[in-house]
Structure 1
Amino acid sequence: MSQKFGELAPSEYPGERLGLPEHGQGSIGRIGRRLIALAIDWALASIPAYLLIGGEFAMWWHPIIFVVLQAVFIPTIGGSLGHRFTGMHVVPIAGGWVGIWRPLLRSLLIIIVIPPLVWDSDQRGFHDKIAGTVLIRS
């Protein structure tokens, strides 16, 4: 029996279609860890924005600093400081080095909010799908 377009069998767990384990190291980073990591990263971006810049301009610098921190830490240590603190890291689906453009694209999409709210059955946000990345447990 052939499958029609859009008729994929449901996966047993997030990451199964990507060949990732169900639990433990290398499995998909779940929503709780993701939210904690995002809160940590957002708080870390607020420190220089509000303490060094302050005033009415801090709200404009805050997302810029967030993107810069993501672009620096994801390619160098494998994830943002929040990701690493919560035991996760970002990897490209195709393998290899994540590079600089993936973290930049990924974080720009995060700050416009909608892409992280759109998920697939593997619990990958639209920002990860567009960037060709997946957030996995370390």
Structure 2
Amino acid sequence: MDKREALGSWLSGPRAAAEQMGADFGHRGERLGLPQQGPGSIAPVGRRIAALFVDWGLCLLIAYGLLSHGRATSADNWTFALFGVVSLLTLATVGSTPGKRLMRLRVIRVDGGRLGIGAVVLRTVLLLLVIPAAIWDRDTRGMHDKAAGAVQVRM
């Protein structure tokens, strides 16, 4: 490998360099037995982030309008708490937050079943800590989902 190839592999990233050397990673979710596209496939990152913004925005509106009595500093604390409660309640009951439902996503166990209450609590706590949710594996599953044995899929 000459210097240009080495530099090019660094710029394109480790996955591209490994694929160039013949490694086959398959599609996202293949290791989990999920389809490449359509219902049941791994949820796209953009839709997951959009769902997060929808959920946060709804909680912010509720906190500002109903709970903080118009005080912006109080609304921040209420938004955080309300986001955790909404995530816990909606994931435990219907398997999808309002934002995920709008984006046509749901959270399931890796084997396809519903998440138990313990897994929902663990996932929500790790999501509120932010850092575990920001670290992904090659299937774009956050560490909060991995710890709970969950995966976000398309409906």
**TM band (smaller chain):** 0.7 to 0.9
Match of 1:32 in 2: 46
**Superposed displacement of residue 121, structure 1:** 0.8
Match of 1:66 among 64, 77, 83: 83
The two structures have a TM-score, normalised by structure 2, of 0.78
**Superposed displacement of residue 10, structure 1:** 4.6
Flag structure 1 segments of 5+ consecutive residues without an equivalent.
1-8
Instruction: Tell me which amino acid in the other structure corresponds to 1:120.
Output: D
Match of 2:32 in 1: 18
- Map Cα deviations across residues 1-49 of structure 1 (whole Å, 9 max, x no partner): xxxxxxxx65211100000000111000011100110001101111221
Match of 1:42 in 2: 56
1:121 aligns with 2:138: yes
The two structures have a TM-score, normalised by structure 1, of 0.87
Q: Does the aligned pair in 2 maintain the 1:116–1:127 contact within 8 Å?
A: yes
- Map Cα deviations across residues 83-123 of structure 1 (whole Å, 9 max, x no partner): 11101100012443312222222122222211111000111
Q: Map of 1:96-107 to 2, 5 A cutoff?
A: 96-107=113-124
Q: Give the Cα separation in 2 of the matches to 1:52 and 1:74.
A: 23
Instruction: Compare the two structures and name the one with the higher helix fraction.
Output: 2
Q: Give the Cα separation in 2 of the matches to 1:23 and 1:58.
A: 39
Flag structure 2 segments of 5+ consecutive residues without an equivalent.
1-22
1:79 aligns with 2:96: yes
